Amino acid sequence: MNIILVSSHLAKTRRISLGGWQLLGLMLLMSGLMLAAAFALQYSLVRFAPDGVGEGMRALLSKAYIEERQKQQSNLFSSLDTMASRIGQMQSQVQRLDALGLRLAKLTGMKPGEFQFDQLPAQGGPLVILPTQKMSVNILDQQLSRLTQVINDRSDKLMALETMLLQNQLSRKLLPSIPPVNVGWYSSNFGWRIDPFTNANAMHEGVDFMVDAGTPIHASAGGVVAFSAYHPQYGNMVEIDHGNDIVTRYAHCSKLLVKVGQVVRRGEKIAEVGSTGRSTGNHLHFEVRYQGVAQNPVRFLQKASS
């Protein structure tokens, strides 16, 4: 580095050449002088300043400190309020999960004592002391976020499981699952037999329950009444559509208690036993049809009870 000096007192200009080490020393010297000047200025302000100025500076610094501390406390309280609100939401979600767990336990036939959702699970084990991690607001917020995600995920999965169980339960209710009469015995089974009127070999497409006249007849499954009137062969008959191409028939009734289009529940009384139509005496002729083809009703009743 070259420094050229020009002055009116000098007949010629002078040039000073500085090397790398000389420049570094010059910079260090200037930095030292600046630090010394700043220290001297600060010392002079503190040592020789009037009392009023010193008090004013201290009050200003104290005020700034207090405002900063209040701001930090306000932010902390705001974060704590937000976390408390989230914890309250999580507690309500846990209560809903407990209620959902109880419903699922009932749907699956579990005993109430096997899963006690209203009590904390038993815990224990040896004491193992590990280095503790300092808990901060950010770490706590992250843990609450992860826990919220886990609870939401479990809630969605349990709701899906409940829907599947309810659908299975509903499907079972729509299958012919209970006998249409509470008493009686089979007087004629499903299959080939000798026809009582023609004495010829004929197909019997249902089962006959030998019971007294006036005995209540119940819907074997829930569904919609598709026929409720007199039929030349079946006499007074009720036909119930259970969906999925499954239909049940209740024939030779003395009295019909339901109308076409009426929704009936499983076990609901729909008619009374009689001997109308092509019948030799008081009994109930019960059929189960799938896609229009007669099925053995006993198989449905045995499958539903197993």
Task: Say yes or no: 73 and 143 in one domain.
Answer: yes
- Determine phi and psi for 120, rounding to 5 degrees: -70, 145
Task: Say yes or no: 191 and 167 in one domain.
Answer: no
C-alpha Rg value of the chain to the nearest Å: 47
**More confident position, 123 or 3:** 123
**Mean pLDDT, to the nearest integer, of 58-63?**
66
Backbone dihedral region for residue 261 (phi beyond 0: left; psi -120 to 50: alpha; all else: beta)? left
Contact criterion met (CB below 8 Å) for 294 and 206: yes
Task: Say yes or no: 166 and 69 in one domain.
Answer: yes
Amino acid residing at 137: V
Task: Say yes or no: 21 and 104 in one domain.
Answer: no
Per-residue pLDDT of 281-304, as tens digits, reads 999 999 999 889 999 988 887 654
Task: Say yes or no: 211 and 161 in one domain.
Answer: no
Domain that holds residue 167: 65-116+136-173
Residue 234 lies in a domain: yes
Q: Does residue 277 surpass a pLDDT of 60? A: yes
Widest CA span of the chain, in angstroms? 155
Residue 135 C-alpha from the chain's centroid? 31
Q: Does residue 130 surpass a pLDDT of 70? A: no
Q: How far is CA 74 from CA 19, 62, 80, 169, 298, in A?
A: 58, 18, 10, 54, 75
**More confident position, 200 or 32:** 200
Distance CA 146, CA 129 (A): 25
Distance CA 220, CA 295 (A): 14
Which residues, in sequence order, are bridge partners of residue 4?
A: 15
For residue 155, the model assigns a pLDDT of 77
Residue 131 lies in a domain: no
Per-residue pLDDT of 2-48, as tens digits, reads 555 555 555 566 665 555 556 666 666 777 777 777 666 666 655 55
What is the 8-class DSSP label of residue 283? B
Residue 40 lies in a domain: yes
Distance CA 212, CA 223 (A): 26
Task: Say yes or no: 96 and 195 in one domain.
Answer: no
